[in-house]
C-alpha cells in the first residue's frame, strides 16, 4: 500500500522520532509497514524513506541506493534500518545535490560526510555496523536526519543553490 508522504511544515518532520523496541522487530510487528514503505519509496521514485516521512514518529528507514557500495563496510544496496545512528569516519565532506520526498520539486547543494559508520538494527532484529561511502553514506545521513527531526535544508550553509528540480 502506498502511504501518504508528509511535507515540509508538518510537525512530525521536526520532532525526534521514538526508538522501535527490538522485541517488536523480532516479532515481525513492522513487516507490513516495511513493505509499504518500500512500495511508497518506489512509487515516489526515492532512494530512501523514513518513518516521519509517512507520518510515523518512529526511528525506521528504508533505502535502495540502486547501486552497491562495496567499500570496506560492504553495505547492502537495499534494506531497512531501525534505530539508526551514524558517526563520521574522518572529516572529509562532499557537497552534492540533494532532494527530498517531503520537500517536493526542490533541490540544493548539501555537504555530507564522505564516509560514515551506521549503527542500528536490521529487519530481523540483528545489530548492524556498516561503513558506508559516497552515495550510500549520503542516503544514511539524510534518513537518520529525518528521524532526528532535520531536513536537508537544515544542512545547507547557503540556500542560494536551492532551486526547482522539475519544470512546471
- Known catalytic residues are 143
Residues 85 and 108: beta-carbon distance below 8 Å: no
| Residue position matching grid coordinates 516521519 | 52
Q: Look-up: residue for cell 551514524? A: 86
Residue tagged 510537525 (cell numbers) = 11
> What does the alpha-carbon distance between residue 123 and residue 168 come to, in Å, rounded to a whole number?
39
What are the angstrom distances between the C-alpha of 102 and each of 44, 105, 149, 153?
10, 9, 12, 11
C-alpha cell at 14: 521536526
Amino acid at each position: 500500500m502506498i502511504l501518504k508522504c508528509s511535507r515540509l511544515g508538518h510537525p512530525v518532520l521536526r520532532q525526534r522520532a521514538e526508538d522501535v523496541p527490538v522485541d517488536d522487530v523480532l516479532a515481525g510487528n513492522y513487516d507490513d509497514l516495511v513493505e509499504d514503505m518500500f512500495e511508497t519509496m518506489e512509487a515516489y521514485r526515492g532512494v530512501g524513506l523514513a518513518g516521519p516521512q509517512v507520518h510515523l514518529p518512529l526511528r525506521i528507514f528504508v533505502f535502495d541506493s540502486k547501486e552497491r557500495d562495496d567499500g570496506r563496510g560492504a553495505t547492502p544496496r537495499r534494506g531497512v534500518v531501525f534505530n539508526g545512528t551514524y558517526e563520521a569516519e574522518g572529516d572529509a565532506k562532499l557537497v552534492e545535490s540533494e532532494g527530498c520526498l517531503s520537500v517536493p520539486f526542490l533541490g540544493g547543494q548539501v555537504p555530507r560526510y564522505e564516509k560514515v559508520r551506521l549503527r542500528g538494527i536490521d529487519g530481523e532484529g540483528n545489530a548492524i555496523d556498516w561503513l558506508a561511502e559516497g552515495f550510500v553514506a549520503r542516503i544514511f545521513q539524510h534518513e537518520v536526519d529525518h528521524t532526528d527531526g532535520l531536513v536537508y535544508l537544515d544542512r545547507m550553509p547557503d540556500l542560494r543553490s536551492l532551486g526547482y528540480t522539475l519544470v512546471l
